[in-house]
Every structure is written in structure tokens, then in C-alpha cells.
Amino acid sequence: MPEKEANIREWFNSLYHNTSDAIVMLDKEGNIVAINDVFTEKFKYTLAEIEGRDIDEVLKVAEKPGSFDKSMTEQVLAGEPRQKEVTRYDKAGNPREYRLKTAPIYVDDEVVGAYAIYVDITARKEALKKLETSRELYRTMFASAPIGMMLIDEEGIILEANEAIAKITGYSLEELEGSYVFERPTPPEYKKQAKENIKQILKGQDIDFKAKSINKEGELLFYRLKETRITLPNGRPGILSMQTDITEIKEKEQKLEEQKAVFEKLHQLALDLSQLESGQEIINTSLAAVKNILDQDVCYYLARGDRGEFNLQGSCFELASEEMQSIVKWSLQDLAHRVYNNRESWNIADLTEDDLNRDSRGDKLSYKLLGQEFKYRSLIAVPVGDHGVFVGCSQTKEAFSGEVKKLLELLFLHTTASLDRVKSQKKLRYKTFHDEMTGLYNRRFFEEELARLDSKRQLPLSLVMIDINGLKIINDSLGHKKGDELIIKTTNLLKRNTRQEDILARFGGDEFVILLPRTTKEAAREIIKRINLCCQEESDEGLPISLGIGLASKDAPEQDIKEILTAADNKMYQDKLVNSRSQKNKIVQSLLDTLGAKSDETREHALRMTTLAHRLGRKIGISDTSLNRLSLLATLHDIGKTTIPEEILIKPEKLSAEEWQLMQEHPERGYKIVSATEEFAVIAEEVLSHHEKWDGSGYPRGLKKDEIPLLARIIAIVDAFDVMTHNRPYSRAITREAALKEIENCTGSQFDPELAKIFLEVVGTD
């Protein structure tokens, strides 16, 4: 049917020029009649190459097992349009995916052939495959995501949930999927808000907030909820709900907040403690802080006593009786000693009987501490510097964790710093107003108190000025250490004879003052009598105490207190003039007794020297006054030896260089002693010079010949003769003849030649 075929071709040409798909026309046997350009482009065949050939053979359908395209072609030629997704191969054998649409061609209601349209769906199929891979990946990620995830439809029904949300909420996947989101994972208090949130999310508004909830097991949890609108596979709008468990983070945040609050309280505590001036206030405030900041109800502070014991100084609660105080004190002694000595905290996590001490009777205290009264189960002890030990107690085991221990240590570091400050201030205040040697108030404090008490209601106000007689001669003869002993001895004597309300102060080196508020002059005189009586008693027991004492009283407000003080000082000076000479004589006599006790400088030695000196003095014609001075010199010439240690004075062996140097100082020391007394000062120069030698080789000044005082030259000869003729620890006595011969030998070198010649004449005639 040429005409019909021509018409068909014309129709086909008009069809394939208007499409982007590959088109082929077949005759009713299924052979290729025509193709369009897109067919050539897709399959790489020209019409000349395939015209008249079977379409399935050309496109290698037979190579596709299970192909039903042959029967499909037959069905189309039988008048049935068909459609199917197929794989077809181009000329080079490369496959592509197509959607094949076939339909019969009618001419006058007769099927004369068919046409097939190959729509290339390769890219779409690959995209679908990738989409499926993505969906599988999504489902894997959804299921294994570390955060909780749910797909929720617009009605609030949970379509899908993952394991993480199940773990967060405590509900199983079976319990969650298919249920309303308002029923299970949402806390009751948030249900109304959740419904409102769904409306807002479906409108395109994302939700992101933090909240707390109770899981299925009733445990408190914190989570972050983020929800956003998505399109569900069915094309309907839905919600992707993502929940992150932030319970641990919130707990850490809460702990940090709590710690911050604690540290702020500790900082405030440090500020509060820095304002306190009393150690007891500091302890009480610290114990209250332990209770308020750390919520510890049972705690104690044990202060270290002077003898090393620990005394209960404070607690967080009232101890019912002294017996209970004793129980606590003795049960914690060993622990307190251990912590104090090691300067390290000690934590007993599980208190047992073996951890407890015995009381003073040796009885176990565990039944008391672990029994009805306290029921302690754990203890902690923290050192508080040099001051004591804090002990905290709890009725539960392991109550004092590492964190609590650190906070307690920090708290009591503040306590220690404040106690150190108060102690330092106390020491400074004490030094500011007290004399370092005696511990009495000093002059500064006395003057401030005098100004404070100078008021009408304190009248009559009496002042007693006191001065130690002979302190200088004690210092010069026995040394300042002995002088300090006299000051301390006097201090103790005055303390015993003053009242608590009186103010006793050291006014100067050897001066004291007593301020007597509301005390009449008569009452003050009674105090002075007691003081003088004690001085006599003390003098009988050793180092003599003699005091110059002056008294003055302010009886009327108009009197000037400074004038009263001056009056008391003047009267003391007058009293000192009267008593000082006799006191110095007593001291000198006491020194002589001391010298005789520790050496051979005895009274008999002095008497023998006096006799010989007088004989020599009369022979040369000196005056009676000089003879009296010579007698005094014979007695006191070696008084400086009272300051030399006894072991040197009586040492039988040769003195060392240091010992000999010390021995040579005794003339100068004797000079200071006798110069301190008006009565003995007349021989001071002779005492200083009695070891000088005629040739200038003596000591201490190296005087020679007539530079040496006459009486000193006389006493030097007499002393040498008496020493040689009497036994000494360091030498045995020699005969008179031998001694005289020694003096003769030393004439012109050690002794004055003229005096030595006369002495030999005087003594040699005996």
C-alpha cells in the first residue's frame, strides 16, 4: 500500500521532529521502517544500517534474560498499547535505561504497524538509586544518632523514633511509635506548650529550648529540644524532633553554681574574719560557716594548750554536760595530736571502735561515741596552723568526700590566717605596751593610762615612784646579767604587793611606777610598808634589794597630775640619797664575802696586808688619812676579782691566754665598783693601778715609776709578800727569807726601789 505507507511516513516525520525522545516506526512484522534523529543520537544507528531489521535484535533485547519485549511488540501489533521500563543497548553495547511506550498505527481501522518511543530515564534511575542510598543512610543515621530523634505527623503522632530517644525517655520504641507525643515523652507540665509548639512549627517556626523532665523511671533529667518542619514521604507536613540529654551538663553547671556560691560564701567569710579581733569570735564564726556553707551539723574546734594538750574551745551545738565535753575532748586527743604534728588532714571514712581513744581512766569510749549520744560514723580532722585542730563528724559513712575535704581545708586556711593575724596583733600590742624584760607595762602605756584615769571619779589618785639602789654597782661588779636578775627579782616583789586594779609599770632602766586609782595616801603607805618588808626578807636570801620610794597623791580635781608625778619622783630621789650609800656599802661587803667564798682573798689576808702596809706607811711618814686609805685599799684592791669566774681564780694549772687576759681585767672592774660609791671612790685610782710595775711592764695602763700612785706601789709589795708566804690553789707558800729575796730580786723592775729597800728593812728585822 504505497499510498498508505507514504501517508504514514509523512505522519511519522511530523511526529519525531517535535520530540526529544528516540522514536522508531515498525511495520506490522515488527521490522524497522523509520527512526528519528534522537534515535540515532541515543543508539548510534542510522536508518540505512537497521532499516527492515527486527527492533529487538538491533537493540539486543535477546541479551537481556527474561525479556518480554517480543510478546509486548506482538501485543501492540495486535492493537494493544503498552508501556514499560526497559534496558536497551546502543551500537557499542552501552546500556541505558528507558521508559518504552508502544502503540499501534491504524489506517482505516486496520493496524498497519506500530511506533515505539524510548524516553531516556537513565539519569532519573541513577538519581532514584542515589536517593534510595541516601534514604538508607538517613535511616541508619536516624536509628543510630547519639541524640534522640522522632518523626511526628501534624496530629502529634510519633511515626518513627530512634534508640537514643528511647534511652532518654525510658520508653521502648514500641511504646513510642504510634503514640501521641503528648502522652509519653512529654512531661505533663509541658503538654499544653507542646501542642502550641506543633502549631508554630507547622507554620515554619523552628523551636529550640532547654527543659527538665521526669523519665519513665521517675528520674529527673534535663534535655535540649530542637524541632523543625519537614515534608513526610506521603507529602504531608511533619515535624523532626531532636532531643539531647544535657542532664550531666546541667548537673555540672549546677555543681559549678553551687561551688561558685560556696566560694562566694568563703570569700565573704574571709572578709568577715578579717574584721574580727577575738580568737574566740573567729572560731565561732568559722564553725558557724561549716554548718551553713557545708551543711555539717556536728563539728568541734580543739585548741592546743601550752602543755601540748587539746582543749575543746568550740562546737556547732550545745554539749549537754561537762561529761559530754569530756567524752568529746578525750576521744579526739590522739587524732588531734596526729593531725597537728603532721600538719595534714586526716579523714576516717568508716569509723570503728579501733579508731577511738581511751579516756583518762583507760575506758573505751566507742560505746559512747557510736552509741546513743552521737552515733558517729565518719570523722575528718583539719589542722588550723599552730592554733589547733578542727574535727567534723557525721552519722553517715564517707561523708567527707575529697571535695568537702578541700573546702574544709580552704575554709580553715582563712581561719588560720585570721588567728595568725590576731596573734600577731596581740604580740605587737603587747610589745607596744609592755616592757620586754619584765613583762610589766611600759612608760608609754603608763602615760596613756595616767591621762585616762586623771578624772574626778578616780580620786584620790596616788602615785608611787620606785628606784633600785645600787643597780650600777651590781652591773659593774657582777655583770649586767646579775643586774637583770635584780630587776626581775624586784619586779616579782612589786607584783606580789600590788592589787589587780593597780597599774605597775617599768618607768626606766631601774625605775618603776605604781598608779593607784581611788587610793588614799594612807592606803598607799601601807603598800609601801609591805614592799619594804619584802625587801628585807629578800635581802636575807641572797642578792640584796634596796629601793628608793617616793609617794604623792592627787586629792582635788584642780591639781595637775604631772606635778603630782614630779612630786613623787622628787621624794623618791630624797629617799634614794638616804638609803643609797648604805646599800652600796652592803653590796660591796656582799661582794667581798663572795670573793672570799670563791678564792683565797680572805679577811685574814686583808688584815695581814693592812698591818704590813701600815708599818711601811709609817716608816715613810705618810699621814693618818693616807693610812686609812691604805687600809681600805688593802681590803678592796682585788674586789674586781668578784667578776672573774671561780674556776679561773682557783685554777692550779697555768692560765690560758684567754683566761689570763680575763684575769688582767680585774683592776679595771674593781675601779668601776669602788667608783660607784662615794665612800670608796677615794681609792679608785689605786685599785686601778695596783698591778702596775716600776719598769712600765704592768697592767692595765703600763704606768711606770712615779706615774704609779704611791699607795698602789705600797700595796703591790705588801700583796706580793703575803701571797708568797701563804698557800694558794696555784702555788705553795715559801719561807719569809725566800719571799724577801724575791722582792729584792724584783727591786727596780716590778717594785719601787726605795719602797722595796725600806720594806726589806722593816720586815727583815722581825
User: What is the separation, in whole angstroms, between the first and last Cα of the chain?
Assistant: 201
Q: Which pLDDT tens digit goes with each residue over 282-327?
A: 888 888 888 777 666 677 788 888 788 888 777 765 554 555 566 6
Beta strands in 195-319 (DSSP E): 207-214, 220-231, 237-245, 298-304, 310-315
**Hey, how many other C-beta atoms are within 10 angstroms of the C-beta on 381?**
25
pLDDT of amino acid 64: 44
Domains of the chain: 2-126 (3.30.450.20), 145-245 (3.30.450.20), 258-429 (3.30.450.40), 434-579 (3.30.70.270), 599-764 (1.10.3210.10)
pLDDT of amino acid 127: 67
Between CA 671 and CA 688 the distance in angstroms is: 5
pLDDT of amino acid 475: 79
Rg of the chain over Cα atoms, rounded to whole angstroms, equals: 61
Asked if residue 38 lies in contact with residue 19, where contact means CB atoms within 8 angstroms, the answer is: yes
pLDDT of amino acid 369: 46
580, 671, 682, 674: which is closest to 626 by C-alpha?
A: 682
pLDDT of amino acid 181: 80
Averages of pLDDT over each 10 residues, the chain, 766 residues: 55 67 86 89 91 86 47 72 86 90 83 86 77 64 78 86 85 84 73 82 84 77 84 83 80 71 77 85 85 70 81 65 60 80 83 50 41 63 89 79 83 89 85 88 91 91 90 75 88 91 90 94 92 80 77 92 91 74 61 55 74 89 87 82 78 86 88 77 89 94 94 92 80 86 92 92 78
Asked if residue 363 lies in contact with residue 406, where contact means CB atoms within 8 angstroms, the answer is: no
H/E run at residue 473? helix 471-478
Q: Where are the alpha helices (DSSP H) in 621-733?
A: 624-636, 646-649, 657-663, 666-675, 684-689, 710-724
Between CA 341 and CA 553 the distance in angstroms is: 55
Between CA 389 and CA 399 the distance in angstroms is: 19
Please tell me whether the overall predicted TM-score, pTM, comes out greater than 0.75 for this model: no
Q: Is 451 exposed, middle or buried (0-12, 13-18, 19+ CB in 10 A)?
A: exposed
Instruction: Determine phi and psi for 706, rounding to 5 degrees.
Output: -75, -5
Beta-bridge partner residues of 26: 32, 114
pLDDT of amino acid 380: 84
pLDDT of amino acid 703: 94
pLDDT of amino acid 424: 86
Beta-bridge partner residues of 628: none
Instruction: Determine phi and psi for 434, rounding to 5 degrees.
Output: -125, 150
Grid look-up 715613810 returns: 620
Q: Which residues of 206-240 are buried (b: 16+ CB within 10 A; e: fewer)?
A: ebeeebebebeeeeebbbbbebebeebeeeeebbb
Asked if residue 280 lies in contact with residue 387, where contact means CB atoms within 8 angstroms, the answer is: no
Q: Is 25 exposed, middle or buried (0-12, 13-18, 19+ CB in 10 A)?
A: buried
